[in-house]
Amino acid sequence: MAEEVSSFWGPVTSTDWCERNYMHSSYVAEFFNTISNIPCILLALFGLINALRQRFEKRFSVLHISNMILAIGSMMYHATLQRLQQQGDETPMVWEMLLYIYILYSPDWHYRSTMPTFLFLYGAAFAVVHSLVRFGIGFKVHYMILCLLCIPRMYKYYIHTTDVHAKWLAKLYLATISVGSLCWLFDRIFCKNISYWYINPQGHALWHVLMGINSYYANTFLMFCRAQQRGWNPKVVHCLGFLPYVKIEKPKTQ
């Protein structure tokens, strides 16, 4: 929410959210929307370490890194509320979904070079166009379409997975994205009412936290499914008794 307060970054030039600006620091426009990206970074870092340590395919390392880049871009956007930083948040969102599409569909794609080539060119073209054009609602529709393209394959992986713990990862993925989306909608639709509440529930910040958890569950589930495809005998185990990750046993020939 725009406020007449002292700020380091100047007037707001990006989409503004339902959090009073510069309430905690003149250098951070939306404090809670900024720091709420930290869980995503930490979870993605944990996933990256696990992927590298167990020598998963590079696509999963790139996926975890893309989660971190997205979270950092979101932090910069909400800290500054500038158009350039908003583009630095939205463009990685599209790139990440293109990476998910590749991971989900590539195992059954017979022409190995066509899919990554097309997705790379699509992502590059979007970045160029997005730097020149401010999409607004068009970006949200485009992003939703990319998300919907992933659902059939995620469902296929779910019904072909017999491991109970892996199925729970998929269920938690669905639960966090559903609750997170409700938080996003609540914050956006009822902002005028929320702004008069004594305590702002920070729906957009909750969306960040839940989507960080959601991304980790999605990545872990996909790592399990891919390990199963490769015959690596995957198991879902827990770090410190609560954080799930995939442990594999590769054949000695690999």
Residue ranges of the annotated binding site for Zn(2+) are 78, 204, 208
Give the DSSP letter of residue 25: B
Q: Report the binding-site residues for Ca(2+).
A: 16-17, 19, 21, 30
CA atoms within 13 A on the CB side of 191: 13
Distance CA 87, CA 189 (A): 23
Pick the closest to residue 94 from 117, 73, 115 (CA basis).
Answer: 73
- Given a contact cutoff of 8 angstroms between Cβ atoms, the answer to whether 44 and 71 are in contact is yes
Distance CA 83, CA 80 (A): 9
Beta carbons within 10 angstroms of residue 206's beta carbon: 20
236, containing H or E segment = strand 235-239
The token pair that represents 55 in the structure block: 């020598």
DSSP annotation string for 72-122: HHHHHHHHH--HHHHHHHHHHHHHHHHHHHHHHHGGG-SSTTHHHHHHHHH
- Given a contact cutoff of 8 angstroms between Cβ atoms, the answer to whether 37 and 74 are in contact is yes
Q: Report the binding-site residues.
A: 16-17, 19, 21, 30, 78, 204, 208
- Given a contact cutoff of 8 angstroms between Cβ atoms, the answer to whether 3 and 22 are in contact is yes
